[in-house]
């Protein structure tokens, strides 16, 4: 297993924003498709990583974080990534935290897209997904706005459903340099 796949790579003082009201098993299909959602924040933050669903078995994921020029997901610049991370999440814990090797600086009011390309275990026929996604969420005083990433996502993920349930962050003004 990759060392990047565990929560102990996240600082104990990180905050969590949760995108979905609920999660459940469904016939959601990974097969290397790209999961994506866009977000912006109203305060500067440092994005540390994301949670990904995994419900038994070993999964493999690659994460990418893009800054969008003029809010357009076709005009994007990669600002962070992590490739080929193996992770497991077994019930009752169905979310595995995946961290970037370095925190990504996220300025206020700038659209970003986070993507995950997930490969499932061969024996899995049902996959957990989040549902009832929020357009706006406040976590520890930071307001996140989410929107669809149509030009990047190719598996039906959007703000209402998908595989990226959590983002882990720190408020930039509270971080020691």
- DSSP code per residue over the chain: --GGGSGGGS-TT-EEEE-EEEEEEEB---TTPEEEEEEEESS-EEEEEEEEE--SSEEEEEEEEEEEETTEEEEEEEEEEEEEEEEE--TT--EEEEEEEEEEEE-TT--EEEEEEEE--TT---EEEEEEE-SEEEETTEEEEEE--TTT--SS--SSEES--EEEEEEGGGS--
Among 7-16, 30-39, 104-113, the range with the most confident prediction by mean pLDDT is: 104-113
Q: pLDDT band at 6, cuts 50/70/90? A: very low
Whether 74 shows a pLDDT value over 70: the answer reads: yes
**Which of 16, 85, 73, 8 lies closest to 39, judged by CA?**
73
Residue-wise pLDDT for 111-170, tens only, equals 999 999 988 777 665 677 888 999 999 999 999 999 999 888 888 788 988 889 999 999
Average of per-residue pLDDT values in the chain: 84
Look at the chain and count its residues: 177
The confidence score (pLDDT) of residue 76 equals 93
Which residues, 6+ apart, have CB-to-CB distance to 136 below 8 Å?
Answer: 143, 144, 145, 146
The confidence score (pLDDT) of residue 31 equals 64
Whether 42 shows a pLDDT value over 80: the answer reads: yes
CATH code of 3-172, in short, is: 2.60.120.820
The confidence score (pLDDT) of residue 5 equals 38
How far is 75 from 79, CA to CA, in rounded Å?
Answer: 13
Range of lowest pLDDT (50-59, 71-80, 105-114, 116-125): 116-125
The whole-model pTM stands at: 0.88
Average pLDDT of 68-97? 86
The confidence score (pLDDT) of residue 105 equals 96
């Amino acid at each position: 297993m990759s060392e990047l796949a565990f929560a102990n790579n996240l600082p104990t003082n990180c905050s969590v924003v949760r995108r979905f009201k609920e999660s459940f098993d469904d016939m959601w299909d990974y097969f290397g498709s790209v999961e994506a959602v866009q977000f912006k924040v109203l305060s500067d933050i440092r994005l540390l990583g994301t949670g990904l669903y995994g419900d038994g078995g070993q999964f493999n994921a690659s994460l990418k974080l893009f800054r969008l020029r003029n809010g357009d997901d076709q005009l994007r610049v990669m600002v962070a990534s992590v490739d080929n991370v193996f992770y497991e999440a077994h019930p009752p814990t169905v979310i595995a935290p995946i961290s970037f090797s370095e925190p990504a600086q996220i300025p206020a009011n700038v659209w970003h897209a986070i993507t995950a390309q997930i490969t499932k275990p061969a024996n899995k026929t049902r996959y957990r997904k989040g549902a009832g996604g929020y357009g706006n969420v406040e976590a520890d005083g930071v307001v996140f706005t989410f929107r669809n990433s149509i030009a990047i996502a190719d598996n039906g993920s959007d703000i209402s459903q998908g595989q990226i349930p959590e983002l882990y962050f720190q408020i930039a003004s509270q971080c020691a340099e």
